[in-house]
Amino acid sequence: MPELSQETEQGRAVLSFGVAEVTGPSMVPTLYHGDWLVVRYGARVKPGDVVVLRHPFQQDLLVVKRAVELREGGWWVLGDNAYAGGDSTDYGTVPEELVLGKAWFRYRPRRDGQRSPFALARWALSAARPVFADRSASKRLRAR
């Protein structure tokens, strides 16, 4: 994945885009293993956004989580799948400098078993979608 662009254009920072592949079940049902994301690096993050960040203890590992709230020390991030783990409940807040950008668009590749016309039509209607912020993320935080 590309790093944040430090280039400027007429005094304004140019935000770069990149792609990231989702691996693992931590963001189910929003994102599934094998989904591809269009990520806007350097974008301003708000609570509820799906973000790409460097793992606080293993910074060569990039992870996708939902930013829940900004606390002292950084962002509190959670996976949408409460049973998968690997979020701030395990490693605490994530410093803001480790949050690289936010997901804007999700593409779900077609599976090999999708051959019937009905399955292809269903895939075509749902394969590409914007990734919306979930403003109810604070409810999940209170439940934990």
String of DSSP letters for 91-144:
H--B-GGGEEEEEEEEE-PPPTT--SHHHHHHHHHHSEEE----TTHHHHHHH-
In sequence order, what are the residues at sequence separation of 6 or more whose Cβ sits closer than 8 angstroms to the Cβ of residue 139? none
Percent of the chain with pLDDT over 90: 60
Q: What is the pTM of this model?
A: 0.78
Strand 12-13 with 99-107, pairing: unpaired
How is the chain split into domains, by residue range?
16-135
pLDDT tens readout for residues 12-29:
355 699 999 999 999 999
pLDDT tens readout for residues 67-116:
999 999 999 999 999 898 899 999 999 999 999 999 999 998 887 777 78
User: What is the C-alpha radius of gyration for the chain, rounded to an integer number of angstroms?
Assistant: 16
CATH value of 16-135 in 3.20.20.70, 3.40.50.970, 2.160.10.10, 2.10.109.10: 2.10.109.10
21/33 Cα distance (integer angstroms): 8
pLDDT at res. 143: 46
